[in-house]
Structure formats: structure tokens, C-alpha cells
């Protein structure tokens, strides 16, 4: 069984070359003209629209002030205010096409979702000119191509390169490359296409059409009323009462017999009350709320940079699960759902997490991968599921920093069917020290105690307790079986420490 993850030298070289190109783009305008829009489209796509706009505004407005500080009119307060207002308007107009893309593109099907940015990148400056707010350089055919290139590249990245994506993407990349060659060699674009006025009006018209279309086609949310199997598994995490779905003013919510109300927000039933978010759960929740949008991409970029094979990385622990077609599978602390990709199709997936932002991105991922899962906002220490509801229960990557690890483990056991194998995997102290403390020091320094595999917290009576050290001691995977009957729990085997790595 592999305990290290395969390294991939060629991917590592490509990853470093691409990252270097993006870094160079910050200093060389000719490169930045291409890498800047790609970064912009990627970034707004990872954020809620308002937050994305505000962040990009800060990234655009302040550097532009520093770049042009010599022009700042210190002598006259009236001129200074005028100068600042114009700079703010310019920054806002520069970002608006990206925000338009963020709002409209998720509602468009397939490849058409690449169009809002190029259209808006031309339409918004053209409208600004028409309204005499001409502070953004006017855009033409070249802008369409560069921004379409950016939107397509990000679309391909998000689709994780299916064949059609690669084909369509290659078309746009080719068109953009030809245009660039034409630009640098002085060869003109075909006259009709090069006529900026025609392109302006065309872009305004189509952007308007797509914007209106998107308003009437919101992303469809899950309807819970017809998910009987999922509802049957639910119970109040506070009273244990069973739950039913009702609809009030067009919004679904879960009601318990004792009158508890659990709202459904953005398609996700909410079993977390503000007063339950305390201690370490609260502290680390801030982190996940912040990074939820690019949690996947952090792994997709850093793994090749470090030369790690991402698939090996996930399979190192997912291979330990016992999953059969038709099984009901629960992942507590599901995050953005990355582990679901490594489960066989034909299982019923359920995920629970403490972070709305991670779950929102899990929904996006599931749509991209054409997968379906019941997602819940809640605390892994008080699960909203009935006893013995799932064939497979597992947890990856959060338990080290839970408020109460023992309670979370007891809850996993409670909701697992008798005889099922449970998996708990997380980073070791070595990883936390070498990676997290260096990268995110303030979050991980001054911990109460070093992290350790919670083998001592597995209740007596669990069978086949087994601890494995993975990825050169950076990760641990703990598995154990819930006994078939309560009798066998009493005669449970002692923990099998043969392969245990207590250093985990
Ligand atoms: C490192 S991520 C792992 C996500 C996912 N399991 C994976 O392997 O990609 C840790 C996750 O644990 C969640 N989490 C932390 N404390 C939790 C708690 N008490 N209950 C439920 N989820 C929690 C965080 O919100 C975050 O999504």
C-alpha cells in the first residue's frame, strides 16, 4: 500500500512555467494584458459578487493612485476630490465587466457562459462614453478577443478539461493567437470585424439580452419536499425530533414536532444556530469563510508546484473506504466536496459542513461534475441525522481543530449502520508545523496542544481499529468498524496497533 504520493516532474515544470508567466504579467504590460483579465475572471468567479467587486476595487484603485501619484493635485482640495472621484469611477468601470460576468455567466449553459465578460468589456466602456463618463479607454475587437480568451481559459480550468471544453477552448485560443500575430505584424483584421463601432453596438445589444435572460433564469435550487429518503434520515440535532418540510411564502423550511424551525438557505437546510459557533470551531470557521472560493484551486495549483499527483493524494485515503453501489454515504465536514469525486457513481451522497461558503462552493463543484448530493449546514459534533442512517461515514481534514473531537467521533458512529467501516483522516503535527504554521502562522500558532490521530478517542467496542501513516508522515488515516450488535461491542478486539504510527 503506498504511503507516499507519486510525484510528477513534467506537471511540476509546466505548473512553475504558468505561475511564472502570471507573476511576470504584473511587471510586463504586454504579458499582463493577457494574464490580468484571466486572473480577474478567475478571482471574481471564486467570490460572492459584492465581495469580489470590493476586493477588485481595492486591487485596482489603490495601485492606480500609487502609479499616478505625481499627478495628484496637492495644491487645491477641490481638484484633489475631483481627481479621486474620477480615479474611483475609472476603477469601478474597469471592474464592472468582471462583475457582470460573475452574475450572468453561472446562469448560462455550457460554452455560452464564456460570453458575458467579452461582451461587457466592450459594452460598458462604450456606454460610459455615451453617458459622457469617458474615463475608461474605449475597447474594440481586440478587447473582445483578449477577454474572451480569459473567460474561456477560466471556463476550461473550472471544467477540468473535458474533451469538448478542450476543443472549444482551443478554437478561442487559436483565434486569439492569430489576432495577436496580426496585431504585432501589422496585418489588419477583416474590415467588418475591425470596425469598433459595429462591435460596440453588437456587444451592447447581446450583453443586454444576456443580462435580461439571466434575470429570468436564476440558478435552480434544490426542492426538498420530494426528497423523501433524505428527509427520513433527518432529525433535530438538539431534540432528536423527526423533521418534515413545509413551504412558507414560497420558501421551504424544516419543522420538528416540538416546533423547532430550520430554514433552507440557498438550497441548504441550516442546522447551525449562531450561539453554537464557539471556540476553535468559530476561529477556524473565519478561515474557511475567507478561502472557501479558492479552496479547490489552492490544492490544484500547489500540488503540481510541489510535484504531487493530486489523484494519488486523494486516493491515498479514499481507497480505505468500503463503498458499494446504492450505499448511503456521509462525509462530515465535506468542505467543497473534493472527496466525492473519488467515490463510485451510483451512491447516495450526503455532506455536512460548518461553513456556508465551503458549501456554496461544493454546490458549484457538484454542478460542474454533474453529481448530486444532499448538503447540510451544521456541526459535526451534533449531527442532524437519525441513528444508523448511513452505510458509509467518513471525515477528512477538519477534526484536528474541532472543539470536541470525541463527540464528533461518537456522532459519526451513531449515524453509521452496524457493521460499517468508518474513516477519519487529517494532517499530522508534522504537516501543521511545516506547512500551516509557515503559511498561515497566526491561525495555527499558539495551539493548546499538538495535533494527533484521535485513536484514544475511538470508544471501546469498535472493531478493526487501524491507524495508517500516509504521505511520508504528513497525514494519518484512522479506520474502525462499528460492531454488528451491541453484544459484539462488548467483546470488541483491542486496537490493532501493528501498522500504527503514533507519530501521526
Ligand atoms: C480542510 S477542510 C476539508 C474539507 C474536505 N473534507 C476535504 O477533504 O477537502 C475542513 C472543513 O471542516 C469544516 N469544519 C470545521 N469544523 C467543523 C465542525 N465542527 N463541523 C463541521 N464541519 C467543520 C470546515 O468548514 C472545512 O470545510
What are the boundaries of each domain within the chain?
9-215, 228-266, 271-490
Write out 2-47 in H/E/C secondary structure.
Answer: CCCCCECHHHHHHHHHHHHHHHHHCCCHHHHHHHHHHHHHHHHHHC
Q: Which atom of ligand 1 is closest in space to residue 280's alpha carbon? A: 16
Reference 408, options 321, 332, 475; nearest CA is 332
Distance 354 CA to ligand 1 centre (A): 7
341 alpha-carbon distance from chain centroid: 14
Distance 221 CA to ligand 1 centre (A): 23
383-388: average pLDDT: 97
Q: Looking at residue 323, what is its pLDDT?
A: 97
The C-alpha atoms of residue 244 and residue 256 are separated, in whole angstroms, by: 7
* pLDDT tops 70 at residue 191: no
The C-alpha atoms of residue 246 and residue 253 are separated, in whole angstroms, by: 6
Reference 351, options 233, 474, 260; nearest CA is 233
Bridge partners of residue 155, in order along the sequence: none
**Residue listed under C-alpha cell 478571482:** 43
Question: Which three cell numbers mark 235?
Answer: 432529525
Q: Looking at residue 220, what is its pLDDT?
A: 78
Q: Looking at residue 96, what is its pLDDT?
A: 94
* pLDDT tops 70 at residue 186: no
**What is the chain's length?**
504
* Per-residue pLDDT tens digits for 90-135: 888 889 999 999 999 998 888 899 999 999 999 988 888 877 765 6
* pLDDT tops 80 at residue 46: yes
| Entry pTM | 0.85
The C-alpha atoms of residue 150 and residue 343 are separated, in whole angstroms, by: 32
Distance 330 CA to ligand 1 centre (A): 13
**Residue listed under C-alpha cell 481586440:** 142
The C-alpha atoms of residue 272 and residue 374 are separated, in whole angstroms, by: 16
Q: Looking at residue 164, what is its pLDDT?
A: 62
pLDDT band at 41 (very low <50, low <70, confident <90, very high): very high
Question: Which three cell numbers mark 250?
Answer: 414560497
Q: Which atom of ligand 1 is closest in space to residue 299's alpha carbon? A: 9
The C-alpha atoms of residue 233 and residue 211 are separated, in whole angstroms, by: 40
- Better pLDDT: 441 or 468: 468
Most confident of 21-25, 149-153, 406-410: 406-410
Q: Looking at residue 502, what is its pLDDT?
A: 34
Residue 248 per-residue DSSP state = E
* pLDDT tops 80 at residue 75: no
Q: Which residues line ligand 1 (CB under 6 A)?
A: 281, 284, 288, 333-335, 338-339, 353-355, 358, 379-381, 396-398, 402
Phi then psi for residue 419, to 5 deg, are 90, -10
Q: Looking at residue 188, what is its pLDDT?
A: 60
Q: How many CB atoms lie within 10 A of CB 275?
A: 6
* pLDDT tops 80 at residue 406: yes
Q: Looking at residue 163, what is its pLDDT?
A: 65
459-468: average pLDDT: 95
Reference 381, options 360, 415, 358, 404; nearest CA is 404
The C-alpha atoms of residue 418 and residue 260 are separated, in whole angstroms, by: 29
Q: How many CB atoms lie within 10 A of CB 280?
A: 14
Distance 333 CA to ligand 1 centre (A): 4
Q: Which atom of ligand 1 is closest in space to residue 333's alpha carbon? A: 22
Distance 382 CA to ligand 1 centre (A): 14
Task: Name the least confident of 21-30, 46-55, 494-503.
Answer: 494-503
Q: Looking at residue 99, what is its pLDDT?
A: 96
pLDDT band at 271 (very low <50, low <70, confident <90, very high): very high
The C-alpha atoms of residue 376 and residue 353 are separated, in whole angstroms, by: 7
Residue 433 per-residue DSSP state = I
DSSP SS3 for 138: coil
The C-alpha atoms of residue 193 and residue 170 are separated, in whole angstroms, by: 21
Q: Looking at residue 98, what is its pLDDT?
A: 96
Q: What is the mean pLDDT of the chain?
A: 85
The C-alpha atoms of residue 173 and residue 421 are separated, in whole angstroms, by: 48
Using most ligand atoms within 8 A of CB, pick from 363, 397, 398 the residue to mutate for ligand 1: 398
Residue owning the nearest CA to atom 9 of ligand 1: 338
Question: Which three cell numbers mark 195?
Answer: 470596425
4-28: average pLDDT: 77
- Better pLDDT: 149 or 268: 268
Distance 20 CA to ligand 1 centre (A): 31
**Residue listed under C-alpha cell 489523484:** 311
Q: The domain 271-490: what is its CATH number?
A: 3.40.50.150
Amino acid at each position: 500500500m503506498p504511503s507516499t504520493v507519486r510525484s510528477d516532474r513534467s506537471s511540476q515544470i509546466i505548473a512553475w512555467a504558468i505561475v511564472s508567466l502570471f507573476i511576470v504579467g504584473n511587471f510586463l504590460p504586454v504579458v499582463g494584458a493577457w494574464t490580468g483579465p484571466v486572473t480577474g475572471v478567475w478571482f471574481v468567479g471564486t467570490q460572492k459578487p459584492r465581495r469580489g467587486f470590493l476586493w477588485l476595487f481595492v486591487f485596482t484603485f489603490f495601485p492606480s493612485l500609487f502609479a499616478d501619484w505625481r499627478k495628484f493635485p496637492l495644491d487645491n482640495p477641490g481638484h484633489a476630490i475631483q481627481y479621486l472621484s474620477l480615479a474611483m469611477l475609472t476603477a469601478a468601470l474597469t471592474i464592472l465587466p468582471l462583475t457582470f460576468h460573475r452574475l450572468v455567466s453561472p446562469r448560462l449553459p455550457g460554452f455560452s457562459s464564456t460570453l458575458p465578460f467579452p461582451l461587457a468589456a466592450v459594452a460598458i466602456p462604450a456606454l460610459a462614453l455615451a453617458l459622457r463618463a469617458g474615463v475608461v479607454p474605449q475597447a474594440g475587437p481586440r478587447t473582445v478577443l483578449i477577454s474572451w480568451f480569459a473567460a474561456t481559459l477560466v471556463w476550461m480550468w473550472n471544467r477540468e478539461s473535458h474533451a469538448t471544453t478542450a476543443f472549444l477552448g482551443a478554437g478561442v485560443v487559436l483565434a486569439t493567437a492569430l489576432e495577436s500575430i496580426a496585431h504585432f505584424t501589422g496585418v489588419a483584421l477583416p474590415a467588418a470585424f475591425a470596425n469598433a463601432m459595429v462591435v460596440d453596438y453588437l456587444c451592447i445589444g447581446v450583453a443586454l439580452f444576456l443580462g435580461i435572460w439571466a434575470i429570468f433564469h436564476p440558478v435552480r435550487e434544490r426542492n426538498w419536499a420530494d426528497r423523501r429518503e433524505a428527509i427520513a434520515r433527518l432529525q433535530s440535532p438538539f431534540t432528536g425530533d423527526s423533521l418534515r418540510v413545509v413551504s412558507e411564502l414560497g420558501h421551504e423550511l424544516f419543522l420538528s414536532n416540538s416546533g423547532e424551525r430550520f430554514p433552507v438557505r440557498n438550497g441548504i437546510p441550516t442546522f447551525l444556530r449562531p450561539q453554537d459557533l464557539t471556540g476553535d470551531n468559530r476561529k477556524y470557521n473565519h478561515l474557511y469563510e475567507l478561502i472557501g472560493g479558492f479552496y479547490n484551486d489552492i490544492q490544484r495549483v500547489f500540488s503540481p508546484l510541489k510535484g504531487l499527483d493530486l489523484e494519488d493524494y486523494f486516493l491515498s485515503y479514499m481507497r480505505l473506504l468500503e463503498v458499494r453501489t446504492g450505499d448511503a454515504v456521509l462525509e462530515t465536514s465535506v468542505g467543497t466536496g473534493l472527496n466525492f469525486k473519488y467515490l463510485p457513481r451510483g451512491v447516495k451522497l450526503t455532506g455536512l459542513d460548518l461553513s456556508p461558503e465551503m458549501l456554496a462552493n461544493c454546490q458549484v463543484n457538484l454542478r460542474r461534475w454533474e453529481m448530486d448530493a444532499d448538503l447540510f449546514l451544521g456541526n459535526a459534533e451534533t449531527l442532524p441525522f437519525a441513528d444508523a442512517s448511513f452505510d458509509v461515514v467518513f471525515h477528512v481534514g477538519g477534526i484536528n481543530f474541532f472543539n470536541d473531537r470525541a463527540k464528533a467521533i461518537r456522532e459519526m458512529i451513531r449515524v453509521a449502520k452496524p457493521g460499517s467501516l468508518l474513516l477519519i483522516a487529517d494532517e499530522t503535527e508534522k504537516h501543521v508545523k511545516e506547512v500551516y504554521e509557515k503559511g498561515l502562522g497566526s491561525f495555527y500558532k499558539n495551539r493548546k496542544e499538538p495535533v494527533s490521530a484521535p485513536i484514544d478517542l475511538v470508544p471501546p467496542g469498535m472493531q478493526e481499529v487501524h491507524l495508517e501513516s500516509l504521505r511520508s508522515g504528513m497525514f494519518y488515516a484512522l479506520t474502525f468498524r462499528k460492531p454488528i450488535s451491541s453484544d459484539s461491542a462488548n467483546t470488541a478486539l483491542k486496537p490493532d496497533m501493528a501498522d500504527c504510527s503514533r507519530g501521526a
